[in-house]
Structure 1
Amino acid sequence: MDPYPAYPHHQDPAPGGAVPHPRWWERKGVRVTALATLLALSGVVILALVREQTGTEGFLVGLGLAVLPVPLLIAAFRWLDRVRPGPWRNVIFSFAWGACAAALIAIVANSFATRWIETATADPSRADTLGATVIAPIVEESAKAAAVLLVFLFRRRDFHGIVDGVVIAGVTATGFAFTENILYLGNAFGTDQLTGTGPGLSSVTAATFFVRIVMSPFAHPLFTVLTGIGFGIASVMAPDRGRARRLLLPLGGLLAAMGMHAFWNGSSSLGEYGFFAVYAAFMVPVFGLLTWLAVFVRQRELRAVRQELPAYVAAGWLAPPEPFALGSLKARRLAREYAAHYGGRTAAAAVAEYESYATTLALLRHRGRRGRAGADYVVRERQLLDALWERRGYARAALAYGSRAAAPVWLPPVYAGPALTHGPAYNPYRY
């Protein structure tokens, strides 16, 4: 779903009045095919490399265990993106890039760098330590950040702020962690097979599963989210203002992700309880802080919807109940359910698109009032208004229902003597 529908008459005409035709390498189909081919080849190669290291049985065991946290993490990021959900194609691309391309780059580059350090220093233990704390964070975070950069550059209209950066970065890191967990769990299973250890709690497989799947499934997403926040802040800045900051913010987020990743990898060298100390004193608080930040930004977007859309009600573009309904997740859900019940999938899809366009319009106006919307503000606003107008037939009745069902119920004041009391017996609103 493109939040800014394209109109042919907005293309710049070539000399003579003809609409310019893109070169073959600029065509959307060519780029999509090339990217899909790249990801497919990366997937085949990474599959062969992981299977070679773990064996077929270890690969299957690792795959079965590594897939467990993936649906939960994807669902969490989609829940965070409920106010203005991005298209599924971006989610699929991000996960595929992390699981295939980024994982392949990391395996090849980490192995090469570690062997080079080992040859140069003749000290295998030092090479492993430097590889884990220096090389791996730089290589892996750069490879994952490439997916965020690609969406930022080529799907710019799907990238509206911090939440979009967090979602794209988090899903990419989820895919990367999925492939990495297959490798670690498969190798752990192979170790148990060699030592004759059964599938009990004392096995290496169980210990690896506990540390990577139970305790820290959010580790890689947490690192890469810092990069996504940098891109997200840069995306809401006006294109003609603060160009240096727009370049430095993503770079700063990437450096922060590398530093946090290095600190986490180095925790195992801090003694017997170093890992658990870093986990409890650093990782969990940072995870809580970033989760709070993402939810806070989402609530701020809903507040902007309620504040900005009444201007379009006064102009006749929207119905009076819509700013409240569009600023409430409960009302939005009820509107989609109402549309699905009476109009089927087509109506539900139209209402969902209406909600997304309206949210984008409100945030665009919010940035415009602060001077951050860019030179194409008027064109983009008109495109979004046209998109809303085309879908008003399905959306207005559904949103009117959602606004009534989600609105607080007013109760009359309770008479208690000669005057109204505002004590415990008085309950003017019931939610």
Structure 2
Amino acid sequence: MAPYPTYPPHQDHALGTPPSGAVPHPRWWERKGVRAAALAALLALSGAVILALVREQTGTEGFLVGLGLAVLPVPLLISAFRWLDRVRPGPWRNTVFAFAWGACAAALIAIVANSFATRWIATATADPTSADTLGATVIAPVVEESAKAAAVLLVFLFRRRDFAGVVDGIVIAGVTATGFAFTENILYLGNAFGTDQISGTGPGLSSVTAATFFVRVVMSPFAHPLFTVLTGIGFGIAAVTAPDRGQVRRVLLPLAGLLTAMGMHAFWNGSSNFGEYGFFAVYATFMVPVFGLLTWLAVFLRQRELRAVREELPAYVAAGWLAPPEPFALGSLKARRLAREYAAHFGGKEALTAVTEYEEYATSLALLRRRGARGRAGADFVVRERELLDALWRRQGYARAALAYAARAVVPVWPVYAGPPVQGPPYYNPYRY
């Protein structure tokens, strides 16, 4: 075949269309636009209700103070999760949905369910103190983690192509929990401010507001994301499990992650019952080490994705779909950044968009091929691979020059793939096009 194949080789029918050309029309409630509108309406309604409930509990002044303080860690946490997702960044709509679900729907479910359960226990036992303790250590972890896990489940089911691995699960779960913690912090900080107002305590380090801010925003802004990330890891492992292998495992893994998140949440909430310094002991000996371990795991998984890009894409160089320096450039975050800067400088916004999308599609292609090599690809492997190659080919005009520049800038003599064609799984032939 020619160094770069004539493209597209087939013009007879659209990719993925049955030979007859008949495309089944989804029923009106199955259309994406209808689902999106219904979901947006649900989140907007939940947001309005939770706003009214929090304002009723804290008062207008307390609500504004709580809002101003609670928003401080949000940009840092969202930026951290987006940074983690740099190799194959998910669309912003998923990030917005996850945050909105956590801040509105999950928070509303938690506030209503927790209040109802605590009042019911207090009435049944005639012991408000034990009801509060049981609500915090048993009811709240179950309700809150289940409500947050619903967002991860929705993305897993309805945005499956955006949910390709453990990193995606960590990001969606973490952003959802960040939204939930944001609303919860408004409530706690607003109530703390109201307590200071009643007691006549002015603003200062001795105030309840300052203590609440220190514990929830300074010491443990990562607490809720840390719990829910365990659920995201369960869904992420299920995402890379072959559909035709281990159906039970694909169900049990997310459930195991959810139960672990509930257990960790309950342990954290119950730390105040372990004595005067129980909270700080649990924080230092448990929360911080687990946070460090999960951070290492997330960074390790991101580096493994970059390695997969460098190892899997040379097969497409041999087939003529990619230029020789591209696997190296696409497997380096520094080279990717330089390619985007080059495109933006010489081609403007259109070129920047094309190169950014090229990097994302190439990463998806490499991860898809890696799953295929390990027997974990679904039945739509060939169709999905062809879609990604089509997307790359249509953006190569801007991307190839930018990536070639980036490869030369990072390593003056970039490695050229000169070996024999890389043979993939038995069902895969890199020269079939």
Same fold (TM over 0.5): yes
* Residue 113 of structure 2 corresponds to residue 109 of structure 1: yes
How far the C-alpha of 1:379 sits from its partner, in A, is 1.2
Distance 1:377 1:17, change over 3 A: closer
Paired amino acid for 2:399 = A
Distance 1:274 1:144 in 2: 27
Distance 1:269 1:8, change over 3 A: farther
How far the C-alpha of 1:27 sits from its partner, in A, is 1.0
User: What residue ranges of structure 2 are gaps of 5+ in the alignment?
Assistant: 1-12, 415-433
Distance 1:182 1:249, change over 3 A: same
User: 1:187 maps to what in 2?
Assistant: 191
Distance 1:180 1:96 in 2: 13
Paired amino acid for 2:232 = G
Paired amino acid for 2:411 = A
Distance 2:122 2:350 in 1: 60
Paired amino acid for 1:216 = S
User: 1:422 maps to what in 2?
Assistant: none
User: 2:206 maps to what in 1?
Assistant: 202
Distance 1:271 1:282, change over 3 A: same
2:379 to 375, 379, 386: 375
- SS, match of residue 324 in structure 2: coil
Within-5 A mapping of 1:252-401: 252-401=256-405
* Residue 232 of structure 2 corresponds to residue 228 of structure 1: yes
Distance 1:177 1:359 in 2: 32
| Matched-pair contact (CA < 8 Å) for 2:101–2:176 | yes
Paired amino acid for 2:106 = A
Distance 1:92 1:289 in 2: 27
- SS, match of residue 103 in structure 1: helix
Distance 1:350 1:17 in 2: 30
Distance 1:18 1:356 in 2: 31
How far the C-alpha of 1:29 sits from its partner, in A, is 1.0
Distance 1:172 1:216 in 2: 16
- SS, match of residue 378 in structure 2: coil
How far the C-alpha of 1:19 sits from its partner, in A, is 2.1
Distance 1:326 1:278, change over 3 A: same
- SS, match of residue 126 in structure 1: helix
Paired amino acid for 2:68 = G
Distance 1:302 1:323 in 2: 10
Deviation by residue 1:162-201 (Cα, 9 ceiling, x = unmatched): 0000000000000000000000000000000000000010
* Residue 19 of structure 2 corresponds to residue 10 of structure 1: no
| Matched-pair contact (CA < 8 Å) for 2:106–2:180 | yes
How far the C-alpha of 1:380 sits from its partner, in A, is 1.0
Distance 2:296 2:376 in 1: 25
The CA RMSD over aligned residues, in Å, is 1.2
* Residue 9 of structure 2 corresponds to residue 27 of structure 1: no
User: 1:74 maps to what in 2?
Assistant: 78
TM-score (norm 2): 0.91
| Matched-pair contact (CA < 8 Å) for 2:358–2:399 | yes
Identity %: 86
Distance 1:270 1:242 in 2: 41
2:54 to 50, 57, 66: 50
Q: How many equivalent pairs are there?
A: 402
How far the C-alpha of 1:18 sits from its partner, in A, is 3.3
Distance 1:408 1:221, change over 3 A: farther
User: What residue ranges of structure 1 are gaps of 5+ in the alignment?
Assistant: 1-6, 411-431
| Matched-pair contact (CA < 8 Å) for 1:12–1:20 | no
TM-score (norm 1): 0.92
Runs of 4+ in 1 over 3 A off after TM superposition: none
Paired amino acid for 2:196 = D
Paired amino acid for 2:73 = P
How far the C-alpha of 1:409 sits from its partner, in A, is 7.6
| Matched-pair contact (CA < 8 Å) for 1:228–1:250 | yes
| Matched-pair contact (CA < 8 Å) for 2:15–2:387 | no
User: 1:90 maps to what in 2?
Assistant: 94
The more displaced of 176-185 and 304-313 is 304-313
Distance 1:272 1:17 in 2: 71
How far the C-alpha of 1:241 sits from its partner, in A, is 0.7
Distance 2:66 2:18 in 1: 53
Paired amino acid for 1:29 = G
Distance 2:360 2:278 in 1: 46
Paired amino acid for 2:349 = R
How far the C-alpha of 1:373 sits from its partner, in A, is 0.7
2:219 to 204, 207, 215: 215
Distance 1:39 1:398 in 2: 41
Distance 2:202 2:363 in 1: 54
Paired amino acid for 1:24 = W
Distance 2:307 2:412 in 1: 17
User: 1:99 maps to what in 2?
Assistant: 103
Distance 2:412 2:225 in 1: 37
- SS, match of residue 210 in structure 1: helix
How far the C-alpha of 1:280 sits from its partner, in A, is 0.2
Distance 2:155 2:67 in 1: 28
Distance 2:104 2:14 in 1: 36
Distance 1:187 1:382 in 2: 56
Distance 1:67 1:124 in 2: 32
